Chain A
């Protein structure tokens, strides 16, 4: 059974860089059938897609975050990572990683399963 687990600091200072890693177990991140994605949820608010990565390293990002986000993959460790630069209090959220389904013409179409999520607070 595929499982995903987020890890990283729970507290980041304003203007610094948020870094999280998602470890995939029970399956290979090098599968050609899926992307791997990051989604976040500010406290009491809705879900926001951050971006996806393919095992080859190709990425797609939310246009509203694209200038600050980098997603990378390490197939040798079965992990993928998120870096979000120049964070502010508005970046405080629970960050989830998830497997992403691929439909026709490489379009992404669903998230399943999800990691349990990790709360990252931006505060000095």
Chain B
């Protein structure tokens, strides 16, 4: 069970859109529609932003959206705002009742 692959960092200017990728294998991301995304501000607990690839929990702005193609899931943040600057982690069901996280991506709002 290897960690999912995310870019170490991405950046964008306010108002722009950014996309964070999360690449796994045919045994996790590619085989199940159970990818979730978490936002983590410094010294804070992670917060669920997207689950089941595309679903948004109540209270999460619709600027956040998720998608998946093959073994790669993506989180897109549109209309970037300063408060979106944070670390983002993907997570996937990986079979046999196990879960695996990505290594995390630091989003910088320029």
- Please report A residues at the B interface, Cβ cutoff 8 Å: 39, 46-49, 52, 60-64, 96, 101, 103, 106-117
Contact = CB atoms under 8 A, between A and B. Distances in A.
B12 interface: no
Given A46-B3, A46-B103, A110 B48 contact: yes
Interface string B60-77: 000000000000000000
Interface of B: 1, 3, 32, 34, 36, 38, 45-48, 51-52, 57, 89, 91, 93, 96-104
Given A46-B89, A49-B101, A107-B34, 6 more contacts: A46-B101, A63-B98, A96-B46, A109-B36, A110-B36, A111-B91
A67 to B, nearest CB: 14
A117 B45 CA distance: 7
A101 B97 CA distance: 12
A94 to B, nearest CB: 9
Task: Give the one of A64, A103, A106 with max B CB within 10 A.
Answer: A103
A107 B32 contact: yes
19 contacts: A46-B3, A46-B89, A46-B102, A46-B103, A46-B104, A47-B104, A49-B101, A52-B97, A60-B96, A103-B34, A106-B97, A109-B51, A110-B34, A110-B52, A111-B38, A111-B46, A111-B48, A111-B91, A115-B45
